[in-house]
Amino acid sequence: MRNIPAITKNLLIINILMFAAYWVFGRLGINLNDILGLHFFLSSDFHLYQLFTYMFMHAGISHIFFNMFALWMFGRIVENVWGPKRFLTYYLACGVGAGLIQMIAQFGSFYMIASEQIPGFGFGDIMTVAHNSEVALSSWTTVGASGAIYGILLAFGMLFPEERIFIFPLPVPIKAKWFVMLYAGLELMLGLGMPGDSVAHFAHLGGMLIGFLLIRYWRRRPYSGYDGFYDGYEIREKRNFIDRIKDLKEKLFKKSQGSSYNRTRNESDWEYNARKKKEQEEIDHILDKIRKSGYDSLTEEEKKKLFENGKH
């Protein structure tokens, strides 16, 4: 657990604690999934907060195990690339987006079922039919982190498209980009072909869709810092950047040894050494900040200072 980045670690802990609470309260006759799970928006049991809480609830051991295994396996890598702030934003956005798209899919199912069973049914009858179908609609409850997890799978595939991974039961490794496409195609096929399935296939697709839109937005957003750090297709540049970070202290130390390097006119030895010491302390602070919180935590001034020093 010590090598797992902060947000991934905390998400794992929260999900496990919530599952333990679900199990304990269940023994007392209280179903937390009915309270915190995401109900269909036409049901009286629906509450807005459920769009956030549902992604921390799970229906069983296998459900939470596979979700948390995928979060541990892929989430820690994505967080190390993006940093904690961006990763948490992405995770929550994919989870909420997945819930919204799942409810849209549920509304489509509700409308088709009502149209088939009620002659002359139209949009004006929706609320009346929903009220009369309250018991059935209350059972349309979605739980699980799968929407957010599928968003992370997509992010990994876009960040490391050529990375090879093993998928059971395939005997050979498959590139991450094909892995993502395979899962997306499978979910779409199952969602369209098995409408009565208890698995929220459209929530999975929703998480991937929101993730794709977010990554596309971030790639097109202008940065005054290092664009390649966020661009998965420029991962080689990211690695070069990290190598430059590792070498920066050594370069600054070497510069401080030359008494004539960048010395201003009429600057005494004491003034020069004091200035160089202050500059090195500032760079050390920036490097420590990157290690703890990721590159995205830097201010524009800190980014500028970092790369100005890296050019020499």
Assess whether pLDDT exceeds 80 at residue 239. no
pLDDT value of position 122? 77
207, burial (CB in 10 Å: exposed 0-12, middle 13-18, buried 19+): buried
Choosing from 177, 194, 220, the residue where a domain stops is 220
Residues 8, 63: Cα–Cα separation, whole Å: 18
Assess whether pLDDT exceeds 50 at residue 236. no
Q: Are residues 212 and 244 in the same domain?
A: no
Q: Are residues 98 and 192 in the same domain?
A: yes
Choosing from 192, 220, 248, the residue where a domain stops is 220
Q: What range defines the domain where residue 278 resides? A: 233-310
Q: Any idea which of 72-86, 186-200, 228-242 has the lowest mean pLDDT?
A: 228-242
Q: Are residues 76 and 157 in the same domain?
A: yes
Q: What is the mean pLDDT of the chain?
A: 78
Q: How far is CA 295 from CA 10, 79, 85, 228, in A?
A: 20, 11, 10, 12
Domain count, the chain: 2
Q: Are residues 123 and 160 in the same domain?
A: yes
Which one, of 228, 52, 41, lies nearest residue 140 by Cα? 41
Q: Are residues 67 and 206 in the same domain?
A: yes
Confidence of residue 232 (pLDDT cuts 50, 70, 90): very low
Assess whether pLDDT exceeds 90 at residue 89. yes
Choosing from 220, 242, 265, the residue where a domain stops is 220
pLDDT value of position 155? 93
pLDDT value of position 283? 77
Residues 41, 39: Cα–Cα separation, whole Å: 6
Which one, of 142, 144, 138, lies nearest residue 19 by Cα? 144
Mean pLDDT over 98-121 rounds to 84
Residues 297, 83: Cα–Cα separation, whole Å: 8
Please enumerate in sequence order all residues whose Cβ is within 8 A of that of 204, keeping only pairs 6 or more positions apart, or say none: 98, 146, 147, 150, 183, 187
Mean pLDDT over 14-26 rounds to 95
CATH of the domain at 105: 1.20.1540.10
Residues 105, 98: Cα–Cα separation, whole Å: 11
Mean pLDDT over 240-253 rounds to 53
Q: Are residues 126 and 81 in the same domain?
A: yes
Q: Are residues 40 and 113 in the same domain?
A: yes
Q: Are residues 213 and 254 in the same domain?
A: no
Assess whether pLDDT exceeds 90 at residue 50. yes
Greatest alpha-carbon pair distance for the chain in Å reads: 94
pTM above 0.85, yes or no: no
pLDDT value of position 227? 38
Q: Are residues 79 and 49 in the same domain?
A: yes
pLDDT value of position 309? 61
Confidence of residue 296 (pLDDT cuts 50, 70, 90): low
Q: Is 239 a domain residue? A: yes
**8 A C-beta contact, residue 76 and residue 6:** no
Residues 229, 214: Cα–Cα separation, whole Å: 16
pLDDT value of position 228? 40
Q: Are residues 150 and 268 in the same domain?
A: no
Q: What is the residue type of 207?
A: G
Could you report the per-residue pLDDT of 128-161, keeping only the tens digit for each? 888 878 888 888 889 999 899 999 999 998 888 8
Assess whether pLDDT exceeds 50 at residue 30. yes
pLDDT value of position 245? 54
More confident residue, 194 or 116: 116
Q: Is 228 a domain residue? A: no
SS3 2: coil
Q: Are residues 215 and 265 in the same domain?
A: no
Q: Are residues 172 and 296 in the same domain?
A: no
